Structure 1
């Protein structure tokens, strides 16, 4: 496996592409305008305590003061007691310096929600400096794997000389990792927390101590795994920041960083822009001439496999088998590229041969095994369907870059001009009965008016005679194709 990570940085957004042997596998996008505060750690100052609400307002240097409830305050002496049973005045007073972490972004007129129970994350671990708890993500449900991971963490803590320095949670992404990956994360967290602690001690006013890493740094932290040959960054400023970050926290990665200074845009050079556009399309062409139709809905994603123009060389069954094999590999890449999660139903072309079904299933499992997102795949059913689940890790590419069409309201289809004409006829009948008017004026889109003047002209004439009123037609060029108005004159 030969992977490259490409990082494109502009003031508006940062985009990251993971390229494996020349093929784009993953796209990550972070926009400056939508950055939140959740996870940020601040040195704050209590500005007001409200005993009646068991809460306090804290100035963290943001536009609005933030809010903390007594149940979100860490109390080392409260072992075994229910959270929030103490009085807010026992912990905070006006003017007190407090180190807090944001748990909920500001919303409307409300400030951010805070906690003093601090944590920082790496790829596989969450470190909780004020706790001694060691746990495993509930999403890892295999008992043997949970036990194995806890043993690895204990071994890693001894190896790094970090026993008794805080609590840890093994994240879902840790499933299947080895001791070396755990130790790399432990070293990273040790350096990171030491830096946050130094800033906290030095802080004399409300200020930011730690922010969740920006995308290009999270990329290095989470994706710089064995097999990555280089990390190309097209921004000199971001490249320098990454060098400093790696030197301080991940020195083993520093040698992979390269600054790209070419005239041609980095994503254009590697074909990433074209891959992004294709990943937003409903239809995915296969090299054989077949194609996939991918539909993302609220409940699930469906993928339909079709032979298209591929006619094969031997017989129909062989043609279907070859198309399904190619589709299995391509759809696995498309799921990663589009970041589709949840329930996924794949409708392969029906295969009569049981061995062919098994081979297609094995091919799909092999392709999905390289996907970092956890997934489960059922065997090909009697109907030729494969049911899958893929862990949702973030918004899909479509959700991030697109919005519902304001014309069809997300349906993906529009009513035909014929359908709109018949709706207009029914509306004219209602208006003619309900209101007194000599004339009616129909305002509609060009295609609808054209049909009323041509194919439906006889029906318009019959309707005028039936209601005893004249009907005029006028094109509204800016009209939604489905929208029309009837004006009484």
Structure 2
């Protein structure tokens, strides 16, 4: 399937969209304080035996959360008693696996991973694993023997899907590169003083290219000329046969390509299917339930065929929505009941086929006794709902309201791309709380003024809902 990568980079945030077959499939965010993948020398501050966890100072405003099952100690049983694994005040090597968000500190792990394009290095493991998407037994066995022959005994390796068509020299060269990075991490840990950053992972754009660098990429569009050159240099160093165009394009790329509408739709509970049916997404702390409904779809054939076609389209759309919304954990899908077991099997096979496009690990368990399809999906980042919205204070969290940070970022993007207007003054009218968020960001507000060459006038209007704003170039009579 043809794939495009569309990237917007601003001083306050970076956004990268994966577009497959002309539709938004995934979107990644990062602000200037992104930390996922970074490795720190931390110091254990508090141990909470009742929760089997420890809080670790890694130099952030909030201490990071370290679960006992994520602590790696030579000779110690993983997930054992927290007091047997760490002591208060000790130094510890950890990696951020989930970003700090709202009132929660970052989640960290002691099971370090150093990813590359072909391989993922696990310094504290010893096994060789192979991507489940490499299906040929001959190729799998060849790759396993190649790694077992060339890797040090004390490290583990995952061979990624990109190894399917890679040359041995490319794979082995990356192995040496990753081992070199690990050697540098160990040296900095020995010589550094906690808390300190030891290893900084690549940014969200390079990380996306690393994970999606294959023959399906047709082009990359970016709104930053310097980063366009950086991407071209990055591709040239990978010595890959993958070729695609990298284009610079000014302006609000997500808006131009209709991606903003797709993102906003992903915040809704209901998702319409092309045939007139619809999906309902209900997320709880424990799991996500997806309900398939016939809606306006009545079909022209018999009832069983109508239901089969509806479930088949749902089986294609659900994996896309899981990626777009970054839904993880336990997932229950309530397909409309089918009497024909062959039809049911075909729907499940279609779901499996679409899930193969997902970089996150997924597993289909099967049908429950009540007729739900049960599956799991690994989640490593916050989704659209968590990024864009907050719990509604009026209904005590049963609903969600637009996040002030996300709204502020959206307004700054709009203002930053209005240099084309003739009027020297750009007026932004919004709710006072939203405008205060923008006013507090003096550095990026000045960046917008310099980029556009315009005066930015912020006008507070308490009558506007927090999710609404007006941008104009004419004076407003108040």
Please confirm whether the aligned pair reaches a TM-score higher than 0.5, indicating the same fold: yes
Larger radius of gyration: 1
Per-residue deviation at 1:341? 1.5
Query: SS state of the match for residue 323, structure 1?
Result: helix
Q: Which residue of 1 aligns with 2:14?
A: 14
Q: Deviations over 1:410-464 (max 9, x none)?
A: 2239xxxxxxxxxxxxxxxxxxxxxxxxxxxxxxxxxxxxxxxxxxxxxxxxxxx
- Which of 348, 356, 365 is equivalent to 2:352? 365
Q: Is the 8 A contact 2:361 2:378 kept in 1?
A: yes
Between the aligned partners of 1:9 and 1:284, the Cα distance in structure 2 is 29
In the TM superposition, residue 61 of structure 1 has moved relative to its aligned partner by 11
Instruction: State whether structure 2 residue 114 is matched by structure 1 residue 120.
Output: yes
Distance 1:212 1:384, change over 3 A: same
Q: Aligned residue for 1:260? A: 248
**Residue-pair matches, total:** 364
1:159-170 matches, cutoff 5 A = 167-170=154-157
Contact 2:128 2:147 in 1 (8 A): no
Q: Does 1:221 align with 2:210?
A: yes
Counterparts of 1:80 and 1:331 in 2: how far apart (Å)? 43
Deviation at 1:186, TM superposition (A): 4.0
Scaled by the length of structure 2, the TM-score of the pair is: 0.60
Paired residue secondary structure (1:376): strand
In structure 1, the partner of 2:450 is: none
1:306 is the counterpart of 2:293: yes
**Is 1:152 matched up with 2:151?**
no
Give me the whole-angstrom Cα distance separating, in 2, the residues matched to 1:102 and 1:382. Answer: 41
Superposed counterparts of 1:103-142, under 5 Å: 103=95, 120-123=114-117, 125-127=119-121, 134-136=126-128
Deviations 1:361-405 (A, max 9, x none): 232223223323232325556754211122223223222332211
Task: Assess if the C-alpha contact under 8 Å between 1:15 and 1:27 holds in 2.
Answer: yes
CA distance in 2, matches of 1:26, 1:223: 11
Q: Quick one: structure 1 residues 127 and 147, their matched pair in 2 at CA, closer, same or farther if it must change by over 3 Å?
A: farther
Distance 2:126 2:399 in 1: 48
Determine the structure 1 residue equivalent to 2:313. 326
Deviates more, 1:180-189 or 1:355-364: 180-189
Cα deviation, 1:196-219, whole Å, max 9, x if unaligned, reads 9799999x9999774111111111
- Kept in 2: contact 1:120–1:189 (CA 8 A): no
Contact 1:39–1:101 (CA under 8 A) maintained in structure 2: no
- Does the 8 A contact of 1:18 with 1:25 survive in 2? yes
CA separation in 1, counterparts of 2:8 and 2:227? 10
CA contact (8 A) 1:122 1:188 kept: yes
**Aligned-pair CA distance for 1:260:** 2.0
Scaled by the length of structure 1, the TM-score of the pair is: 0.59
Residue 343 of structure 1 deviates from its aligned partner by 1.2
Cα distance in 2 for partners of 1:348, 1:196 equals 47
Gaps of 5+ in 2: 43-57, 63-71, 78-83, 85-91, 401-462, 464-478
- 2:403 counterpart of 1:412: no
Contact 2:6 2:18 in 1 (8 A): yes
Counterpart in the other structure of 1:187: 173
| RMSD across aligned positions (CA) | 5.1
Determine the C-alpha separation between the residues in 2 that align with 1:228 and 1:120: 24
- 1:26 aligned residue: 26
